[in-house]
Amino acid sequence: MFLFVQKGELQHIWQDAYINDIEGSFDAMRTYLPTNVSRILDIGGGMSGISVPLCRAYPGAVVTIMDGSDDAPRMLRQDKTFSSRAAAREFLAANNTPCDFEVKGKYDLVLSLRAWCFHIPIDDYLQTVMTHTYNTSRLIVDVRVGTPPPFKVLAVVSENSKCQRLAMSATRK
């Protein structure tokens, strides 16, 4: 993977740490991923680095990133918008990962790593997720400890003192 964001002498250290984190996250969730995926929704994914190994595992899959803006004033006004869509688009294109930013249709896999259900309240995107998933869709979501998961939990992928990464079905509890 390549990352064209950080400049300077520490760039390779930051890149290596980012790549190791993404690869570790992907390896941990691999067992809980569905067999076939053609559409992935990444909620609050920033650069959506996790999309790179996912699209390699699912050739032909397209990622929709529900994060970011190319409107700088909007980025300053909304605390939910941290990332530049242009930067994410450039990063993913450099890694041969197709993406778009318009949520439409249904998704086989929904991801939200340290965003929805962790920093972003469940209600903010619950209706969107319910509208744009199949009953068979899989969700991999980081849920803050003490927050009830919004969907049926299939497994705990990983956990620490602040959150649990949960594999869930799109079936409401």
> What does 27-57 look like in DSSP terms, one character per residue?
HHHGGGS-S--SEEEEET-TT-TTHHHHHHH
Domain count, the chain: 1
Report how far residue 168's alpha carbon sits from residue 32's, in angstroms, rounded to the nearest whole number: 9
For residue 46, the domain's CATH number is 3.40.50.150
Containing H/E element for 71? none
The verdict on residue 4 lying in a domain is no
Residues of 88-126 as b/e, b for ≥16 C-beta within 10 angstroms?
A: bbebbeebebebeeebeeebbbbbbbbbbbbebebeebe
pLDDT in tens, 72-105: 545 444 554 456 788 788 888 888 888 888 999 9
The verdict on residue 71 lying in a domain is yes
Report how far residue 54's alpha carbon sits from residue 40's, in angstroms, rounded to the nearest whole number: 9
The verdict on residue 99 lying in a domain is yes
pLDDT surpasses 80 at 19: no
pLDDT in tens, 134-167: 999 999 999 999 999 999 999 999 999 999 999 9
The verdict on residue 83 lying in a domain is yes
The verdict on residue 162 lying in a domain is yes
The verdict on residue 1 lying in a domain is no
For 138, the domain range is 11-172
Averaged over 18-39, what is the pLDDT? 89
Q: What is the pLDDT of residue 1?
A: 39
The verdict on residue 163 lying in a domain is yes
pLDDT surpasses 50 at 70: yes
The verdict on residue 154 lying in a domain is yes
